Structure 1
Amino acid sequence: MSGPDAADDEGGPPGLTAAELDLLTRSGSYARGERALRRAESELIAVCMADKGFPYRAGRSASAPQSYEEQLLGMDERRKRGYGLYAQYLDSPGGGEKREGGEPLAPGMENDAYVAQLSEAEAEKYVYALRGDASDRREMRLPDDQTVTFSGKGCEAVSRQELYGSLDDWAASEHVPQILNNSLTDRVTEDPEYAAAMRNWKECMDAKGYSYEDPDDAYRKLKGEYGERGATRDMRKREIEVATDDGTCARKARVPDTVLSLRRQHAESLPATDKRDLRQLTDIWEAAATHARELTE
């Protein structure tokens, strides 16, 4: 992805643009473009699958862009599903549009539920039409010695090629900005502003009767309880209460605002090569998002 750039090598670009920061941090203009891409990809898959004789339910998109806070906290999902642990620990999804115990299917799961009720042979045919088989897998090496594996065939690949022009561009745009964003995590969590926000979060949770050190601690302990007790109704109720209170306290302590602000600040510490890659990927991603809006709006 990187090419020669004397200005970068001599000291790096003067600063990331708003669009580059938005893609890196999944904030700002990113929400609208990503929603258009997901919708267009889903609709293209549905058309492709129909041509092959298979039903596929295209996903529905939210009517308005989400704030960074809502993306990070997902309060609606917390109130419905907690952290999503209950669904993970169920033995099976059950039938119809509901999971066992009244757990609604998460968005996009309708197609998985359809496949689950097929015979093994029919399910294999469906999945092959959607994403090929093991022989069609491709691998791309990413920053920090990470790799991503994806299929080069099937309706998923067809839709991504239509939007991005190439599967390599899709894979890089999908994963590299997130890897670069994650590389900032240590700087963010070591920042005094973050520590202050988490102290406020803990004080809020303590006042609600909890004794968690941080949100990760709450998740880990609930996961341990699920491992001991299984996916019971009482555990589901407890999970939703903890997750909702966690999100409420994070909002009160302004954790999302603090994290976003610090990520944007520390983004300037990225190496020049990473900044070049992000610049190129932003151009690719914005072109794909524009094409997606032309297809769906």
Structure 2
Amino acid sequence: MRRKRRILLSVALLACLTAGCSSDTRSTADTGRQHQERAVSAHGPPVRDLTLSEEVEIDRAEQDLVTQCMRREGFRYWPLPVLSVPARKVGAYVVDDVVWARQYGYGRTFDTAAQKANRDHPNVTYVRALPKKQRVRYSRALDGTFTDTITIELPSGGSVRTPRGGCYAQVREQLYGDHATWFRAKKTVTSLTPLYVPRILQDERLTSAVAAWSRCMKAAGRPFQSPDAIRRERESLIRGMTESQALRSESALAVTEAECAQQTSLGKTARALEAEYREEVARDYTEEFTAYRQMRLSALARARNL
């Protein structure tokens, strides 16, 4: 049973370390960023990472530039919805922000909005109405083709690739200065979790915090073994409810989860362990981390000058 819980925990923690464990209005990785910057500073001056609101600025600029590019290619294009700061906090291993939990629960309103956009966004209906040959041209103009790609081998194994052409590639070249370098830096930095997550899972500090959190939840009438158990049962818990009922129910549960996470410091423990183990891995990828941060800051400056 312990082995099974550890495997389930690893799935949720992977999501936590890519989406983040939020407890306030900062980026979910802000705690770890300070440690990462110190690791970089051993080889040069520290380079800060972006806040969530700054990430929003870049994403909005990217959509505006893609719109302009597609119109030059002879197609109509409407900017895609950009995730808000609160929406970027969805997917944490454990919710420990009570205010956020009370308002958003587990992010169901964001899920609903995304589903609606995927179904009803003007880009979707516009492309559906195009003749087949035009749809092919649209796709190539927007995303390029996989006959000419940038390929990178990931530190954790395997590889990823992206087209060199298309409006998205052109816009990233414009924002980040070099699309190929940006792609390699980003994919390297954002694919390191498998290198250190197993060590976090074996750390007694985490397992002890999860056990304390579980005892708190049981005392509050919410007997869950781990935050991941809530995620697994989330849909069954609100089955048959209306949308508004589901949101209220999830918000109530998320508030209890957050209160217990604060009382037991589970969120803080997970973030501290991420920072600790990620810093060790980052030492082997100093150049990539530095390039990633520097190019994001450059993109922010360019986005603000558009």
Quick one: structure 1 residues 67 and 124, their matched pair in 2 at CA, closer, same or farther if it must change by over 3 Å? closer
Instruction: Write out aligned runs for 1:187-198 (5 A).
Output: 187-198=199-210
Within 5 Å, give how 1:102-181 maps onto structure 2: 104-105=116-117, 110=121, 113-115=124-126, 117-119=128-130, 121=132, 122-181=134-193
Match of 1:264 among 259, 270, 275: 275
Alpha-carbon distance in 2 for matches of 1:21, 1:208 = 43
TM-score by length of 1: 0.66
Q: Report what 1:90 is aligned to.
A: none
Q: Are the structure 2 counterparts of residues 112 and 39 from structure 1 closer, same or farther at C-alpha, using a change threshold of 3 Å?
A: same
Contact 1:78-1:240 at 8 Å conserved across structures? yes
Counterparts of residues 204-223 of structure 1 (less than 5 Å): 204-206=216-218, 210-222=222-234
SS in 1 for 2:129: coil
Note the alpha carbon deviations across 1:77-124, whole angstroms, 9 max, x for none: 64662794xx7xxxxxxxxxx89xxx6437x97255335643561433
**RMSD of Structure 2 on Structure 1 (CA):** 4.2
Query: 1:15 corresponds to which residue?
Result: 39
Give the direction of change, closer, same or farther, for the CA distance of 1:69–1:52 in structure 2 (3 Å limit). Answer: closer
Structure 1 spans left out of the alignment, 5+ residues: 1-12, 24-28, 88-97
Q: Does 1:81 align with 2:108?
A: yes
Q: How does 1:58-97 map to 2 (within 5 A)?
A: 58-59=79-80, 72=92, 75=101, 78=105, 81=108, 84=111
**Alpha carbons 2:58, 2:299 under 8 Å: kept:** yes
**Aligned AA (2:303):** A
CA deviations over 1:168-215 (Å, ceiling 9, x no partner): 222123322222245332333333443343234434544565554323
Q: 1:243 to 1:216 in 2, by over 3 A?
A: farther
For residues 135 and 240 of structure 2, the distance between their equivalents in structure 1, rounded to whole angstroms, comes to 31
Residue of structure 1 equivalent to 2:77: 56
Count the aligned residue pairs: 256
The offset of 1:69, in angstroms, is 6.0
Kindly indicate whether residue 293 of structure 2 is the aligned counterpart of residue 282 of structure 1.
yes
Is the CA contact (8 Å cut-off) linking 2:90 and 2:106 kept in structure 1?
Answer: no
TM-score (norm 2): 0.64
- CA 1:187–1:127 in 2, change beyond 3 Å: closer, same or farther? same
Instruction: Give, in whole Å, the separation in 2 of the partners of 1:132 and 1:181.
Output: 29
> Which whole-Å CA distance do the structure 2 matches of 1:207 and 1:239 have between them?
23
Runs of at least 5 residues in structure 2 that lack an aligned partner in the other structure: 1-36
Which amino acid in structure 2 is aligned with residue 173 of structure 1?
A
